[in-house]
Amino acid sequence: MSISIASFSFHGLKSAGLMDVFGYLETCRYRYGLGTADIWNGLIDRDPEVYLNDAFAAKLVGALAERELTVVNYHADGCHAWENEAAARDRNHSLALRHLKFGAQIGAKTVRIDAGSRGQTWTDEQFDLIVQRFKEYCRIAGDAGMKVGPESHWGPELVPDNMERLAKAVDSPAFGILLHIGHWDNAPIEEGDRRLAKYAVHTHVDQKTSETRLESAMKILIDAGYTGCWGVEHHTGKNEYAEVAVQIALVKRQLAKFAAAGVVVRTPGGKNDMIPDNV
């Protein structure tokens, strides 16, 4: 079974000064017994100059190796493709390239970079630029053995039509969606999940999904041949250690139910992706 914890799950502890990325790695490995890391750049630092450098990357790689952790996803805020001002677009593009380099340095399997814009649609100008950017990012990611793409996260990314159109336009084997399960506008949530499941390379399984429709949501991905991690993400900023433990337990229980029913659940494989029986 392959489960990870999106490090945004501990943003409350981060804000209180009680968690940093190294504490997160320790938490994944020794509190929850995981072999995966699922790193949000906001847990590292708000200032990318602090960590987008070779020295910090080497420090993080050492910490990952010491704990035998594999980075299944690196999600980078602040470098989305579209901004209304050309200077902001250029700044974000430069940052995105640095985040891709950093993702490759730390051995990330997948990288999330958002598309940008607000509202529920992209103009032709916005869409063309976003496609151009992701084609470039896919070439870089593919050369590094990674996959890259946006999340069903905010703005037009929340509309399944847009995400499906983007995936088809980029048309790269290195492109993939970070599927925040059930997080859609302008479509029933199961329809959105079903339409984008074939493009999913990573997931965010939030508390609501865990408690209301976990079996059906996971089955949609399994039926689509999903082989990535089940990345739990908690959002309240409160009681995070316990709430994350509950969400992990619910996902693990559902995977066990699938196994008992003979449902084949594909995983990336490798010892670092497996959860010990005592979790």
Residues with Cβ within 8 Å of 112's Cβ and at least 6 positions away in sequence, in order, are 73, 74, 75, 76, 148, 149, 150, 151, 153, 178, 202
pLDDT for 267 = 77
Domain membership of residue 62 as a residue range = 3-273
CATH number at residue 226: 3.20.20.150
Tell me how far apart the alpha carbons of residues 97 and 100 are, in angstroms, rounded to a whole number: 5
Whether 116 is covered by a domain: the verdict is: yes
- In this predicted model, what pLDDT tens digit does every residue of 93-120 receive, in sequence order? 999 999 999 999 999 999 999 999 999 9
pTM: 0.94
Whether 125 is covered by a domain: the verdict is: yes
pLDDT for 268 = 72
Whether 225 is covered by a domain: the verdict is: yes
pLDDT for 246 = 98
Ranges of residues in the chain with a pLDDT under 70 are 1, 269-279
pLDDT for 273 = 36
Whether 278 is covered by a domain: the verdict is: no
pLDDT for 64 = 98
pLDDT for 270 = 36
Cβ contact 196:152 at 8 Å: yes
Tell me how far apart the alpha carbons of residues 200 and 224 are, in angstroms, rounded to a whole number: 9
Whether 167 is covered by a domain: the verdict is: yes
pLDDT for 277 = 38
Residue type, 76: A
Tell me how far apart the alpha carbons of residues 129 and 135 are, in angstroms, rounded to a whole number: 10
Q: Is 267 helix (H, G, I), strand (E, B) or coil?
A: coil
Please count the structural domains in the chain.
1
